[in-house]
Structure 1
């Protein structure tokens, strides 16, 4: 890098506006449009050379210069704000309601929000805040803040650290506040010096020249802001690490013991009881809502026990579980333990648990059942052998099936609407018949599929319509019918762990300190330069010029030193 030598002997880096030692302008430009009025000095960063204004040769220089631009930083923030706003148009994937027909985002967004929802999903906005490009955008904002700060902080720090009382005359007479006095007694200067100290100025003297300064720390306010913002952005990036942040969902049936997701099998939850309380149907306040929804919950909660697994080789073995706590989880009243929090988010009252089926002869509907078997949907076997020699093999199982033009599919892994494909082996036979059992009526009619092959059977007290077995070959001798169903109730709980909140809080505190630091204090400087029998008086501040003028007026009160004039107003 080239260097520029000032007449005072100090060598300044290229790009310096004011000599770092004496303050003399590097480019003397005393006139404006041919007038004799002095051009005021640009005191930004004390006239020091910034790296971005000096180096522009290598690829590193170009990258540094790009990110040191305030415009680039502002545009990155604007893009991040717009993207964040788009992410709030529809709920993010983790906030899909537990009561949704399907929690599969590929199905939920188009069915709930139409074509806009489909576009929203296909563009990846359903997982916006954890997407690679959004995190990259946050990282770029952080890089911009760091480079912007270093590009300005380093030269400013060097310049302020090198404050001298003796300055070049052109530095003094081109300040905004300036006055010249032809004759001043030494006693007047001593009086001014004492007055400035009483106003909490730090006075420095050099060869009869004075500089009084206070509030320098306010200049670091914007950089403290940047540090706070960088900490906040770092906390946002740390939320992507499972070690520090967890946001998951778990369904737990009454009486079920289940591992808590995200804890690596360390913690288990047992749902002792689910309680649902509803508003009275006669309550006038909720009559309209009850008529529309059927029931309106006033409270739903889960009474749970949290266990911690021991050191057994069989992780989670019930005998090795140590009870951590037992409590109620209600809406807005989460259960907190060991850095985790469990929130009551949803519930399901009628989930299929056990289904009993009976086998009948196809051509004799009045005959007695040839046998029956029961399927535990949470502990399903591959085959079921009956005492009379019949054997049923579960060939296919759809927990939450939907009949489409492309065939039968399962929307979720939850047993909300189960369907089965059975292979039925008669006694002492190696040949089997294929039967499909499920609730196909509604889906088939929606698609315009002929449902005349479906023969409805009475189901007693079971709510819903279920089809008997459908014979895909048309040659079956047996049919399988649903005889009874047992339902379970289950709780939907959100599992959260967030160690980044203290980091967010710390960053916010640092940011507010910077705001207060830069807003309520000002960096004020007053120079008194001896010139023969008189003095030159100048003042500068980063803001609140009126306050600085009052300080100068108070300091020279009762002396022969002339009051400063605002040269900015003269121009």
Structure 2
């Protein structure tokens, strides 16, 4: 589109309302000039034909940005109704957990994908849309505003002066003392420019950039948030480690391991800790003062798969407590939970009944690791025992079938099949039994043997959170920049005063993006010292005129 040339010679982009140089109104749009963006032509209000224009105009709209924020707030709040999948108990099947814990609403929550809301593709699209809206809306306003403020001249068109909210004019018979006036303005911390006996005093222009600094901070913040879903940038995992066991640390590609040497729980002493007496009496049970994991960090020293052949090199020992994590290479292991006396190992023996007497077979004794059970046992005297099914946390589902709630051995049930020495496992059916805590039921007939639980071993388990966050510096930087922009736009404001002499008239006009009272005080100070014309607030005058018109209309109706 062709540029519009003002009578001052400046070429303005199509759609400009006030000349970027002299300020002459190029369109008649009311008594007061619209100074919000200095009357410049914004791309979204000028170009509306191509698909690019329509996309630009859509995202440059403040209303669209507000609706995107509202949608993000609503969806984010929905994600807090029930725990996200990462926060449900380890080992739980999310497809069953939400329905069992929260009923129909929980099932609907899972079916709609809200259990992984913040990593879903459509939530990422909403965040991306907000970022695009911030970028386009900022560019649509910042670039023309910056150009207009940079190109503004000291001498402004008379029509521009008359259309300012604060305006005054009088006959000027004496030459104005420009030097003294300039000195007074500088005393008020104004930057003063002079041209042909006219003055432009300006201060606080940087406050106009506050909203755009806000947008930059928000964009950086959103980028940091989105980077959390890129591999290697963010890690928030959970691991349960039993005493004496070693687990690989997720996020290290099998390079680092942590061993739980010992788990300790310390309780407040009811006699020695008087300060906690009220809490102890209210709780009615022991109160934990400290729980910690004495851990050892290992690093894989040789290439190879994770297993018995993997050689581990000790890195360091550390006692992990609350707020005292084990930290290495940007990864921190935090103490967050524990389980005491978890079932660990069952020891079984076999009894046989002969001539009405029960006799224990001392050679047929075996252990079952409830966390990693061996599925087949063979003994020197010819007995063979096979684990057909293992349910760590036994439960009967809605269809009446046995299942397990999770892999934690809270309520273990084991189905054994025992073959005596004269039986052939490939051809014969063994003696099948269901065994658990206080449960020992034969599942077929003709049992000559009985499996007995001889011993139970327990173990303490520690729960550690594995956390790494390379996006935190980016998020913090975005937050700091946002606060700088907020302060910049909230506690400072842009003020300008134009003083011109033309054709025997002395004009004074002023504009502020806010805090008009401060601007009026500055102009009043100058008027008293240098005999400037008295100014009026034309916005107040306009309101009075509308009130008079409305009052006249009401009288006429009466």
TM over 0.5: yes
Q: Does 1:538 align with 2:532?
A: no
**407, 415, 420: which one pairs with 1:421?**
415
Q: CA deviation at 1:376?
A: 2.8
The CA deviation string for residues 444-472 of structure 1, in whole angstroms up to 9 with x for no partner, is xxxxxxxxxxxxxxxxxxxxx4322432x
The CA deviation string for residues 494-538 of structure 1, in whole angstroms up to 9 with x for no partner, is 111112222121111101111111112111111122212332111
**106, 112, 125: which one pairs with 2:95?**
106
1: CA distance between counterparts of 2:102 and 2:220? Answer: 37
**458, 461, 465: which one pairs with 1:494?**
465
Q: CA deviation at 1:50?
A: 0.7
Match of 2:25 in 1: 25
* Cα separation, partners in 2 of 1:78 and 1:334, compared to 1, 3 Å: same
The answer (yes or no) to whether the contact 1:4–1:13 under 8 Å persists in 2 is yes
**153, 169, 184: which one pairs with 1:195?**
184
2: CA distance between counterparts of 1:248 and 1:493? Answer: 9
1:358-373 superposed matches below 5 A: 358-361=349-352, 366-370=357-361, 371-373=364-366
Q: CA deviation at 1:187?
A: 4.4
Q: CA deviation at 1:67?
A: 0.9
The answer (yes or no) to whether the contact 1:309–1:317 under 8 Å persists in 2 is no
2: CA distance between counterparts of 1:52 and 1:567? Answer: 30
Q: Does 1:87 align with 2:58?
A: no
Match of 1:74 in 2: 66
Q: CA deviation at 1:137?
A: 1.3
The answer (yes or no) to whether the contact 1:52–1:151 under 8 Å persists in 2 is yes
Q: CA deviation at 1:547?
A: 1.0
Q: CA deviation at 1:238?
A: 1.4
2: CA distance between counterparts of 1:202 and 1:184? Answer: 27
**387, 392, 403: which one pairs with 1:394?**
387
**365, 368, 373: which one pairs with 1:380?**
373
Q: CA deviation at 1:474?
A: 2.7
The answer (yes or no) to whether the contact 1:188–1:560 under 8 Å persists in 2 is no
Match of 2:484 in 1: 513
* Cα separation, partners in 2 of 1:411 and 1:366, compared to 1, 3 Å: farther
Q: Does 1:50 align with 2:47?
A: no
1:474-485 superposed matches below 5 A: 474-485=445-456
The answer (yes or no) to whether the contact 1:254–1:271 under 8 Å persists in 2 is yes
2: CA distance between counterparts of 1:15 and 1:284? Answer: 73
Q: CA deviation at 1:539?
A: 0.9
1:418-497 superposed matches below 5 A: 418-430=412-424, 431-433=428-430, 435-439=432-436, 465-471=437-443, 473-497=444-468
2: CA distance between counterparts of 1:16 and 1:437? Answer: 86
2: CA distance between counterparts of 1:487 and 1:296? Answer: 22
* Cα separation, partners in 2 of 1:426 and 1:432, compared to 1, 3 Å: farther
Match of 1:96 in 2: 88
2: CA distance between counterparts of 1:492 and 1:474? Answer: 44
Q: Does 1:304 align with 2:295?
A: yes
Structure 2: state its 5+ residue gaps. 272-276, 543-558
1: CA distance between counterparts of 2:411 and 2:508? Answer: 88
* Cα separation, partners in 2 of 1:202 and 1:106, compared to 1, 3 Å: same
* Cα separation, partners in 2 of 1:413 and 1:178, compared to 1, 3 Å: same
What secondary structure is seen at the aligned counterpart in 1 of 2:358? coil
1: CA distance between counterparts of 2:308 and 2:197? Answer: 85
Q: CA deviation at 1:350?
A: 2.7
Match of 2:238 in 1: 249
1:121-160 superposed matches below 5 A: 121-160=110-149
Match of 2:260 in 1: 271
Q: Does 1:341 align with 2:335?
A: no
Q: Does 1:355 align with 2:346?
A: yes
The answer (yes or no) to whether the contact 1:437–1:480 under 8 Å persists in 2 is no
Q: CA deviation at 1:359?
A: 2.6
What value does the CA root-mean-square deviation take over the aligned residues? Answer: 2.5
The answer (yes or no) to whether the contact 2:304–2:310 under 8 Å persists in 1 is no
So what's the TM-score if we normalise by structure 1?
A: 0.86
Q: CA deviation at 1:340?
A: 1.6
The CA deviation string for residues 125-175 of structure 1, in whole angstroms up to 9 with x for no partner, is 222222222222111111111111111101101111101012211011111
The answer (yes or no) to whether the contact 1:272–1:304 under 8 Å persists in 2 is yes
Match of 1:457 in 2: none
1: CA distance between counterparts of 2:531 and 2:416? Answer: 110
* Cα separation, partners in 2 of 1:209 and 1:96, compared to 1, 3 Å: same
Q: Does 1:563 align with 2:557?
A: no
* Cα separation, partners in 2 of 1:287 and 1:568, compared to 1, 3 Å: closer
What secondary structure is seen at the aligned counterpart in 1 of 2:360? coil
The answer (yes or no) to whether the contact 2:507–2:533 under 8 Å persists in 1 is no
The CA deviation string for residues 267-304 of structure 1, in whole angstroms up to 9 with x for no partner, is 2111111112345689774356446xxx5534322111
Q: Does 1:174 align with 2:171?
A: no
* Cα separation, partners in 2 of 1:512 and 1:285, compared to 1, 3 Å: closer
**316, 323, 327: which one pairs with 2:314?**
323
**150, 162, 171: which one pairs with 2:151?**
162
2: CA distance between counterparts of 1:287 and 1:194? Answer: 75
* Cα separation, partners in 2 of 1:163 and 1:406, compared to 1, 3 Å: same
1: CA distance between counterparts of 2:52 and 2:44? Answer: 11
Match of 2:497 in 1: 526
